[in-house]
Amino acid sequence: MKIQNHFEMPLVAALLAVISGSTDAYTYIEHGGVFAGLQTGNIILMSINLSRFNFIYVLRSCFSILIFAIGVIIIKIIQRRSLSATNRKKLVIKYELILLIIAGITAPWVPDLVTIGILDLSAAAHLQEFKLMRGRAFNPLMMTGNLSKVSNNLYLTIFDHDQDAKRILVDTIIIISSFICGAIIMGITTSFTDEFAILITAIPLILILFIVQWTQDNDRQNNN
């Protein structure tokens, strides 16, 4: 399948998954057991803490859910602007990069809720803008659907010898593995750098911009 947008390349999708795993691991480890992106997890944590009258933790979860929702609206507003898909995605990556750098620099000196809120905005942008890989729906943040996709396409690959399903299976395994790697990297990094660890997620974001620009330049040269 021909990739219509350079942001739909598997390598870019894998880097997006690394960022997702890293960000959620970071907020959970460093900022009170709250997820920046996995809002289903926050709803479960909120409900458990509500049942135990741990209202401070309920507030953390509710705040994360609210700011995430606001973050989605911000990206919806950006998506209504007259920008090409590639330019819009570049803008969103730069927006995320700024948010992550602000969060990393200020984290040691501001309340947890501020850092959580900043990273919620970043995670919302991540989920709302980047939804396709090779022209097919993909999710860099929620792994439950990806696990279901692995099982379904594994079945089709084994029993129906479906080559398209085999390609989807491999791509989805790469996404899940990348998400896990991101969480592992953050778990290790926080042991040495504590709250500054989130700054490491700037690396894959910059790599995405570089890869997309390099690919675009190559395409232009080949078309000339």
**pLDDT band for position 224 (cuts 50, 70, 90):** low
Mean of all residue pLDDT scores within the chain? 93
Alpha-carbon gap, residue 126 to 105, rounded angstroms: 20
Predicted confidence band at 212 (pLDDT cuts at 50, 70, 90)?
A: very high
pLDDT at 223 over 80: no
Q: How far apart are CA 108 and CA 4, in angstroms?
A: 42
Q: Are 211 and 51 in contact (CB under 8 A)?
A: no
pLDDT (tens digit, 9 = 90+) per residue, 123-133?
Answer: 999 999 999 99
**Model confidence at 4, in pLDDT bands (50, 70, 90)?**
low
Distance between the two ends of the chain, CA-based, in angstroms? 23
Query: Could you tell me whether strands 136-137 and 132-133 are parallel, antiparallel, or unpaired per DSSP bridges?
Result: antiparallel
Is the model's pLDDT at 2 over the cut of 60? no
- 46 pLDDT tier (thresholds 50, 70, 90): very high
Token match 């409900």: residue?
47
Is 90 exceeded by the pLDDT of residue 118?
yes
Please provide the CATH number assigned to the domain covering 6-212.
1.20.1250
Task: Indicate if the pLDDT at residue 220 is higher than 90.
Answer: no
- Does residue 155 surpass a pLDDT of 80? yes
Q: Using 50, 70 and 90 to split pLDDT, how confident is the model at 6?
A: confident
